Amino acid sequence: VNVDTLKAVRFPVPDPATQKKIAAEVSRRRDAARRLREDAARLWDDAKRRFEEELLRPEPQAKKGGR
């Protein structure tokens, strides 16, 4: 592919109203993805904390008398 061929290629561009709709949708999806990443990070941190609590919890003392 040479420069002249690339110059001859025409790219369709949506009208401004459609461009705004597309941009708004992209923004909405980026925001949703950011929220999901934040939620996942919070859940992961909570899971790690709970795991560590269970792992480090002292064992209950055995009752005297062999029971």
Q: Could you report the per-residue pLDDT of 29-62, keeping only the tens digit for each?
A: 999 999 999 999 999 999 999 999 999 888 877 6
What single-letter DSSP state applies at residue 64? T
CA distance 39 to 21: 27
User: Which residue's entry shows tokens 């369709």?
Assistant: 12
Comparing 37 with 67, the larger pLDDT belongs to 37
At 13 the pLDDT is 96
Whole-number pLDDT of residue 36: 99
CA–CA distance, 53 with 46 (Å, rounded to integer): 10
Residue 65 confidence (pLDDT): 62
